[in-house]
A = this chain, B = another copy of it.
Amino acid sequence: MTGLDELPVRDDLRGKTPYGAPQVQDVIQLNVNENPYAPSAALVADLQRAVGQAGLTLNRYPDREAVHLRTSLASYLGDRTGVALSSDQVWAANGSNEVLQQVLQAFGGPGRTALGFEPSYSMHPILAAGTGTRWVGVPRQPDFTLPAELAVAAIEQHAPDVVFVTSPNNPTGTVTSLEAIAAICAAAPGMVVVDEAYAEFAAGPSAVTLLASHPRLLVSRTMSKAFALAGARVGYLAASPAVVDALRLVRLPYHLSALTQLVARIALARTHELLATVELVKQQRDRMVREIEGLGLTVVPTDANFLLFGPFADPPVTWQRLLDRGVLVRDVSSGPGLAGWLRVNAGTEPETTAFLSALEEVMQ
């Protein structure tokens, strides 16, 4: 039997392992920042009805331009941010990972550089590697904040083709101010991507409000978190129509299935209902912050649906002891600048209670 090491895979892939958190069954899953509230029976009934119609034309290719979905996304994002958006300013793909991969295919690639502020979403450098884009990871402040001066100095030093700013940042929960993002846009010689996967959980305004004054700004979002659709794989971005045209040059034709377009539109029609779950999640997050601090631990200030807590002398041991008590959190401690920390996302009230009880036991 031929082994992987005998195949002519690219040299930069040799010895790598696939990205992904451990998938463990029959435990409380607080490790991948999902929305713990399942879609409502009413939403699922809407979906069933719609599938009854759409299923009958699945032999046909889907709308390659996903016009209806992009119109709905533009409407949602416009309502949410107060910025009027049209469908030609919005692009969608199979999760924000695919959106960001397309951004790097269009604006990064061989001979080009992408820069991010670490620790941050670990897929950004992986997507850079997968598209042949050189990656520069610039350390954040020790408290994980990103002051404008730090960001601008790094941009001036490295002149990157693409800058990534994750806000709220994953895995730290840290928000970057709009002033800093505007300064980054002014300094950047190329494109600036603000990854707002967790924006709905944050108190402050969106970088979408900066689009009109910064034509090389892209703001990416996902329906995996606030819209509770991680299983449906829908990411999107807002940018200038010219940026969307550029992404059209690299997207795979018919990349977004008819069912994906359908389920996203059905969820968007129930925005009010889904954003109500965001409020519940934020309540549990705020409770977690208070109670974890009550145990004598530190929590990094967070505007997301998750938080970093610690420090632990041996995070993998704490991770395992929590798992032994039926709660799965994320061990991020091997990441840049993350020694000592674990990440956990807010669950439902009972899930959060179970986590807090397990943590209290582990801390004794």
Q: Are B59 and A10 in contact (CB under 8 A)?
A: no
Shortest Cβ gap from A226 to chain B (Å): 11
A203 within 8 A of B: no
A246 within 8 A of B: yes
Q: Are B228 and A257 in contact (CB under 8 A)?
A: no
CA of A189 to CA of B7, assembled, Å:
11
CA of A62 to CA of B148, assembled, Å:
38
Q: Are A59 and B231 in contact (CB under 8 A)?
A: yes
What is the oligomeric copy number? Answer: 2
Contacts of A229 in B (CB 8 A): 58-59
Which positions 70-99 of chain A face chain B at CB distance < 8 Å? 94-95, 97-98
Q: Are B59 and A254 in contact (CB under 8 A)?
A: no
A350 within 8 A of B: no
A313 within 8 A of B: no
Shortest Cβ gap from A85 to chain B (Å): 14
Of B34, B62, B63, B98, which is within 8 A of A252 by CB?
B98
Interface of A is mostly: loop
Stretch in A103-111, A194-202, A324-332, A336-344 with 4+ CB within 8 Å of B = A103-111
Q: Are B7 and A254 in contact (CB under 8 A)?
A: no
A20 within 8 A of B: yes
CA of A228 to CA of B39, assembled, Å:
29
A253 within 8 A of B: yes
Mask for A152-171, Cβ within 8 A of B = 1, else 0? 00000000010000000000
12 contacts between A and B (CB under 8 A): A2-B240, A2-B242, A4-B245, A8-B191, A29-B60, A47-B55, A62-B230, A232-B259, A233-B254, A257-B257, A257-B260, A259-B263
Q: Which 7 A-B pairs have the closest CB atoms?
A: A44-B55, A231-B258, A2-B215, A59-B228, A58-B231, A233-B257, A18-B248
